[in-house]
Amino acid sequence: MTAPDVAIIGSGASAVAAAWALASAGRSVRILDVGVDAPHDGPLVPMTDWARIRRTDPHQHRYFLGDSYEGIPLGSARVGSQVTPPRRFVTRDAATLLPRTDDGFVGLESVALGGLAAAWGAAISPWSEQDFRGLPISLSDLLPHYDAIAELIGVCGEPGDDLSAIMHDPPGMMPPLDTDPASTALLARYHAHRTDLHRRGLRLGRARLAVCSRVHRGRGPHPHLDLDFWCDHGDAVYRPRFTLRELLALPNFEYVPGVLVRALHPDASGVRISLRRLSDNTSEDTRARRVVLAAGALGSARIALRSLGAFATPVPLVSNTSTYHALLNFPALGAPQHEHRHSLTQLTGFFTPPEGGPEMQLQVYSYRSLLTFKLLREQPLAFPEGKSVLRSLLPFLSLVGMHHEDHPSPDKLCELREQAGSDLLHVRYRTSPREDADQLAAERRARALFRSLSCLPLRRVHLGHGASIHYAATLSMSARPGSLNTSPDGSLAALPGVFAADSSVFPRLPARGVTFTMMANAHRIGALLASSLA
């Protein structure tokens, strides 16, 4: 294989965004990826709505429960429970190939084609000017790249609503998806009390989603079949494999799955890449002029630390704390039910305490297509009673995810440890009592706002730190980079010719989700690298 201009490690959301910028600018690009994929035995889930499937498909157990009943969770709710049997490939082999021990952390990693975004919920919230505070880049550096990524992945939302006022809507934004009856009723209630709620710090609107609500780049429109946790009908919800498909049509792009990159060795003519071929477990070296790390914030840290022999050298790790709140949504009582709906985030809200304090992101969902039996263990009644009560309540139940910002601290670290001729990543993550108290207080205020919207909070669930599946800060960008920092152009000070393009570069995480901003930044880094190689 001849050495490409750039080798990119990973095929997740950040990898394909960087690859798109580089390959579109004419650079030769090779993605090196483990790339575990779904079995190619044709679509399992029929192209009809969820309720009809439940009534009529004799094979529904195959995807709802899985051929080995792997869709029936044992124990209480845990991280990644939205990763359903048809999407189990997303986490397959990750624990073996990316060994990790955790102390106070419940993270999820992927070695799949498309990475974690092969199962993501596609909710996007561009960061505000404020969110870039302390970073060596600003919102204006990212704006053109937000727009380029929005065009690539397809974004929908409601222009001119209360969210537009506080976040950047890309020019080509498609119309929003239709909200389900419970969220439609909640939004109507919000509009009736809008002035008072603004005064109390709440803004609510239809979620911005990386979803094609009409035909865009050969994808969509979204069919509103409430099957988003189970399949990708119409290719409407963005997955990195769609960009990979577009990249594969370019003559200067190559995808190499089945390899685990171990270490990078910069030299005078570029970078030597040591990898393991997974088909026969052999080791080999390959080369590229430059390398872009896009193996996930934890995965990229592993490769960088191993390359530098930096064992037992802690680097920061941040992860948004997310909690879930079940609400009885009284405005939805009596609302006519229908099957035309989607399963993703229905409404997005931002709560900024008027007396000061960090912004919190709120994401409103309904619970239906993930199957009622998973909720049964979370409620206090005996099984038969619980089942009938839940069935009657579900149309009026809203779930609100409350997401907090996160900052580095001496108690949020990860390090590579040598172990029996190999190595593993160890994560230690603890929040301070002050952080916990502040977050609980902010959640209490947000719950009070929902009470004013006639929603009765029932239960709070915290799956543990790391369960947000948003990770960052392992190779933080800095205007004055140390050896394990990246510069604003993504380059790693200690590894010449190596760049990081995933969320490892963000020194902290605002409450708004990370993936859209990470893709915009990966596109920015790819574009800068492309021009430096011209």
Ligand X SMILES: Cc1cc2nc3c(=O)[nH]c(=O)nc-3n(C[C@H](O)[C@H](O)[C@H](O)COP(=O)(O)OP(=O)(O)OC[C@H]3O[C@@H](n4cnc5c(N)ncnc54)[C@H](O)[C@@H]3O)c2cc1C
For ligand X, the nearest residue by Cβ is 115
Q: Element (H or E) spanning 455, and its range?
A: strand 455-461
Query: Which of 117/453 has CB closer to ligand X?
Result: 117
Query: Which of 31/442 has CB closer to ligand X?
Result: 31
Selected from 7, 244, 514, 525, the binder of ligand X by CB under 6 A is 514
- By CB under 6 A, residue 15 contacts ligand X: yes
- By CB under 6 A, residue 122 contacts ligand X: yes
Selected from 3, 8, 34, 156, the binder of ligand X by CB under 6 A is 34
Query: Which of 221/258 has CB closer to ligand X?
Result: 258
- By CB under 6 A, residue 414 contacts ligand X: no
Query: Which of 53/153 has CB closer to ligand X?
Result: 153
Stretch that binds ligand X, among 28-36, 283-291, 321-329, 450-458 (CB under 6 A): 28-36
Number of residues that bind ligand X (CB under 6 A): 40
**Residue 35 and residue 259: Cα distance in Å, rounded?**
8
The answer to whether the peptide bond before residue 433 is cis (omega within 30 degrees of 0) is no
Neighbours of 247 (CB within 10 A): 22
Q: How far is the CB of 96 from ligand X (least distance, A)?
A: 12
What does residue 26 show for φ and ψ, rounded to 5 degrees? 90, 5
- By CB under 6 A, residue 115 contacts ligand X: yes
Selected from 4, 5, 8, 14, the binder of ligand X by CB under 6 A is 14
Binding mask 148-187 for ligand X (x = CB under 6 A): ----------------------------------------
| Nearest CA among 172, 275, 226, 308 for reference residue 53 | 226
Selected from 295, 304, 315, 500, the binder of ligand X by CB under 6 A is 295
* 141 SS3 class: helix
Both tokens of residue 32? 């090196």
Q: How far is the CB of 361 from ligand X (least distance, A)?
A: 10
Stretch that binds ligand X, among 157-165, 176-184, 304-312, 511-519 (CB under 6 A): 511-519
Complete edge-to-edge strand list for the sheet that includes strand 322-329:
202-206, 347-351, 360-366, 397-403, 322-329, 455-461
Selected from 6, 7, 8, 13, the binder of ligand X by CB under 6 A is 13
Going from the C-alpha of 421 to that of each of 273, 301, 325, 418, 471, the distances in angstroms are: 20, 19, 45, 7, 28
| Nearest CA among 427, 429, 426 for reference residue 417 | 426
- By CB under 6 A, residue 247 contacts ligand X: no
Going from the C-alpha of 132 to that of each of 112, 278, 474, 517, the distances in angstroms are: 30, 40, 17, 11
Binding mask 95-114 for ligand X (x = CB under 6 A): -------------x-xxx--
Both tokens of residue 299? 């995965």
| Angle between helix 13-24 and helix 240-248 axes, rounded to 10 deg | 30
Stretch that binds ligand X, among 20-28, 62-70, 121-129, 390-398 (CB under 6 A): 121-129
Both tokens of residue 315? 């680097």
Do the beta carbons of residue 107 and residue 429 sit within 8 Å? Answer: no
Tokens 């369960």 map to which residue?
467
Q: Give the list of residues 6+ apart from residue 163 with CB closer than 8 angstroms, or none.
A: 157, 169, 203, 204, 205, 206, 208, 348, 350
Look up residue 429 and give its amino acid.
Y
Q: How far is the CB of 528 from ligand X (least distance, A)?
A: 18
Q: How far is the CB of 58 from ligand X (least distance, A)?
A: 28
Query: Which of 84/352 has CB closer to ligand X?
Result: 84
What does DSSP say about strands 100-103 and 322-329: parallel, antiparallel, or unpaired? unpaired
Under DSSP, the state recorded for 183 is: H
Selected from 23, 44, 123, 236, the binder of ligand X by CB under 6 A is 123
- By CB under 6 A, residue 321 contacts ligand X: no
Binding mask 367-406 for ligand X (x = CB under 6 A): ----------------------------------------
Q: How far is the CB of 83 from ligand X (least distance, A)?
A: 6
The Cβ-side half-sphere exposure at 85, using a 13 Å CA radius, reads 18
Judged by CB under 6 A, the chain residues 485 through 504 that form the site for ligand X are: 502-503
Beta bridge partners of 499: 292, 491
**Residue 156 and residue 25: Cα distance in Å, rounded?**
27
Q: Can you say how many angstroms the Cα of residue 425 is from the centroid of all Cα atoms in its chain?
A: 21
Query: Which of 32/335 has CB closer to ligand X?
Result: 32
What does residue 9 show for φ and ψ, rounded to 5 degrees? -100, 115
Selected from 299, 331, 395, 490, the binder of ligand X by CB under 6 A is 299
Q: How far is the CB of 34 from ligand X (least distance, A)?
A: 4
| Nearest CA among 115, 76, 102, 82 for reference residue 503 | 115
- By CB under 6 A, residue 117 contacts ligand X: yes
Q: How far is the CB of 78 from ligand X (least distance, A)?
A: 12
Q: How far is the CB of 179 from ligand X (least distance, A)?
A: 16
Binding mask 61-100 for ligand X (x = CB under 6 A): -------------------x-xx-----------------
* Strand locations in 48-116 (E): 100-103
**Residue 93 and residue 36: Cα distance in Å, rounded?**
8
Residue numbers at the binding site for ligand X (CB under 6 A)? 9-15, 32-35, 80, 82-83, 108, 110-112, 115-117, 119-123, 260-261, 294-296, 299, 303, 469-470, 502-503, 513-515
